A and B are shown apart, each in its own frame.
Chain A
């Protein structure tokens, strides 16, 4: 019975929902559409539980770090304190942002912190470009020339100095980049289809937790 619940039953569910989900797309019958509506609601509910699982996992990881005083455990404490403070203030503010403490946290903590993190990227990219972007091989030289052309062609000053820079950057994006990206997308999609078929048919079972 335990084996059935652990292995066979999930495999049956996966097969049924996988095949039904794929077929549903090609059958625009009202019954099929009603089933999709119902399933899409259930999917969102399940994802809600996944969020709870994520929070529990986050708490567990950081609790372990604090308990054994691992390197940087103080940051884990910050995670706990800030998460709890946000939850408590959020509940106190009834989820409203306008003129509440919750709104204050959003505007003056989250917004500022995330903005700062992203802004710092520009500084590190510049430093990394100076140190690492060298024409050591012909491949690297081609990449370097393409990058310089793109940086030149995507800003008004570049186009002002060399009017052809914009169209060249556009050509790089529309032709060379698109061709390479299209190949990657086709490869990923074929891989996705193959993996889905393997999961639906029960060939790929790693999602069961490796206890089969």
Chain B
């Protein structure tokens, strides 16, 4: 038994890679479509957009690069669909230079599906260097921060920007972020001073870190990872890539859970292993002995 446990613990990692690849591919090719429960934090963003009257100014800051596209792009698609359905004035921008092309594509792509006119119903301001300072600058003077939009048209002349001179006139901002500058930057340098309502959409890795901001109302809602995007797609009744990806995520999570359980089973089948108690400095996490194992 011990030999078998040892052998399995030393399993070639390529076997695990194949398992994960299959767990991802098969559900994508043959989706099952398990029901998706809507969490309150995602519902709050949906409800806020629902409550905005037509013509309200909605800023979508796409603060991510292609590395986070699988998680954040479906969020952008869902939010833009919702905003255009509600006839909001949509202003897209990005604080991440490598996300510019992708952000422009999604904003203009979804807008064209709804027959929205560039400059009149929506615009994409593009990228402006400066990170968090761009937010302060936008709060002070939006046209000075982005003298022209991504297409070279003077921002101040755009009908969609009429009456909007700074972030103070914006009704709702959602930052879809994969890091910094992102949701926290928009809160610290934007909402806190200029008083607009703020929502966040982030990768699953970042989401747990933003829950304190949710509880205090510093952000009014949070879309976390592919799961959050799938919830939003369900809310707007438009099942897209996120919902399709949830079956794959279910399968991969279960593979990983199975691997962890197997690993522990084999570990405890090996004689002499036991769970150590709390407070043992010698064996505590971070100790040289723990690190060496």
- A interface with B by C-beta (< 8 Å): 25, 33, 36-37, 40-41, 43-44, 47-48, 51, 97, 103, 106-107, 110-112, 114-115, 117-119, 122-123, 125-127, 129-131, 133-141, 144, 147-148, 151-152, 154-160, 166, 170, 173-174, 177-178, 181-182, 185
Contacts and interface: CB of A to CB of B under 8 A. Distances in A.
Contact of B67 (A36, A117, A154, A160): A117
Interface in B245-293: 246-247, 249-257, 259-264, 267-268, 273, 275-278, 280, 283-285, 290, 293
B134 interface: yes
Contacts of B191: none
Contacts of B109: none
Nearest to A131: B263
A126 B16 contact: yes
Given A115-B67, A115-B70, A36 B140 contact: yes
Nearest to B276: A137
A137 B140 contact: no
Given A115-B66, A170-B39, A47 B278 contact: no
B39 A44 contact: no
Contact of A47 (B131, B193, B259): B131
Contacts of B246: 155-156
Nearest to B261: A148
Contacts of A141: 275
Contact of A137 (B65, B102, B254, B275): B275
A92 B223 CA distance: 39
Contact of B259 (A114, A122, A126, A160): A126
Nearest to A107: B101
B184 to A, nearest CB: 10
A148 B256 CA distance: 9
B130 interface: yes
Nearest to A178: B211
26 contacts: A33-B140, A37-B140, A40-B136, A40-B137, A44-B133, A107-B101, A110-B98, A111-B101, A114-B69, A114-B98, A115-B69, A117-B67, A123-B20, A126-B255, A129-B260, A134-B263, A136-B283, A136-B293, A137-B276, A138-B278, A144-B260, A147-B260, A156-B37, A158-B250, A160-B34, A178-B212
Given A115-B66, A155-B250, A177 B16 contact: no
Contacts of B212: 178, 181-182, 185
A103 B70 contact: no
Given A110-B66, A126-B252, 14 more contacts: A37-B141, A51-B129, A110-B98, A119-B70, A122-B24, A123-B17, A125-B256, A129-B263, A131-B9, A134-B263, A135-B264, A135-B267, A152-B253, A181-B209
B185 interface: no
A177 B136 CA distance: 30
Nearest to A152: B257
Given A130-B259, A134-B267, A140-B285, A41 B137 contact: yes
B36 A138 contact: no
A133 B101 contact: no
Contacts of B56: none
Contacts of A111: 66, 69, 101-102
A151 B283 CA distance: 27
B127 to A, nearest CB: 11
Interface string B207-247: 11101100100000000010100000000000000000011
Contact of A154 (B130, B227, B262): B227
A44 B134 contact: yes
A137 B285 contact: yes
A173 B208 contact: yes
B30 interface: no
B68 interface: yes
Nearest to A34: B140
Contacts of A48: 129-130
Contacts of B268: 135
B148 interface: no
Interface string B105-148: 00000000000000000000000111101101100110010000
Contact of A44 (B70, B129, B207, B276): B129
A185 B209 CA distance: 9
